[in-house]
Amino acid sequence: MGLYEIHVFVCENERDETDTRGSCSLKGSREVRSKLKEEVKKLPIRNKVRINKAGCLGTCNQGVSMVIYPQGIWYGKVAVEDLPEIIERTLLKGEIIDRLLMSFMRKQTNIKIKEL
Amino acid sequence: MGLYEIHVFVCENERDETDTRGSCSLKGSREVRSKLKEEVKKLPIRNKVRINKAGCLGTCNQGVSMVIYPQGIWYGKVAVEDLPEIIERTLLKGEIIDRLLMSFMRKQTNIKIKEL
């Protein structure tokens, strides 16, 4: 329907180190996004997927925050080490990685990403 | 399913004025996003909608670019003057505004936003 079959937004909001809310940038979101973008470029589905920078997604306490649309999958506390699994399972196979789901999504099991 | 029923991303990518690709920032995207955010705060559905800043959405020639998820509605050449109609028709009534649809979406008529 849209321009991309999988549209990933990674929060890169910046806040001062003294801000108690924290921020995804201070938790390494730039590295997460740039590494994910780099790896996706190597995939056969690269033209169907876009890795986008986003401003604050409103889920600061669960950052690094990532949301995947149009499926509406919210992953939290994402680290560079999680990226191979996100690519292999979620982007390529359409599977949900339970341990990465944000708390408000944990009870939702009816999500199905379209297999590419 | 996700955190927001309507998640709007407005491209705020910046490029140098000499860059022939153009950029949404140079076309006024900051004003578009800040005005939209301000107006949405006055709506009864404000807690179900988020207006987010995004990096380059890849549709520079149709900027100011906006994509609305999970519905997957892509609007282009959005100006501040279009915002009352976007709020009234798309965000509140779930209608698609044909004249704002990006070119690749013009033939798609089976989009239905969930009425809030």
Dist. CA B92–CA B55, nearest whole Å:
26
Dist. CA B87–CA A54, nearest whole Å:
22
Which ipTM was obtained for this model? 0.90
A22 or A87, higher pLDDT = A87
| CB atoms near residue A13 (< 10 Å) | 22
pLDDT per residue as tens digits for the range A77-112: 999 999 999 999 999 999 999 999 998 888 655 555
The answer to whether A28 and A89 have CB atoms below 8 angstroms apart is no
Tokens, residue A31? 């590295």
- Chain A positions with Cβ closer than 8 Å to B: 1-3, 7, 9, 12, 50, 52-59, 67, 69-74, 102, 104-105, 108, 111
Q: How many helices (H) and strands (E) does chain A have?
A: 2, 4
Torsion angle of alpha carbons A64, A65, A66, A71, nearest 10°? 150
Dist. CA A79–CA A34, nearest whole Å:
12
- Chain centre distance of CA A1: 20
- Chain B positions with Cβ closer than 8 Å to A: 1-3, 7, 9, 12, 50, 52-59, 67, 69-74, 102, 104-105, 108, 111
- Which pLDDT value is given to residue A48? 96
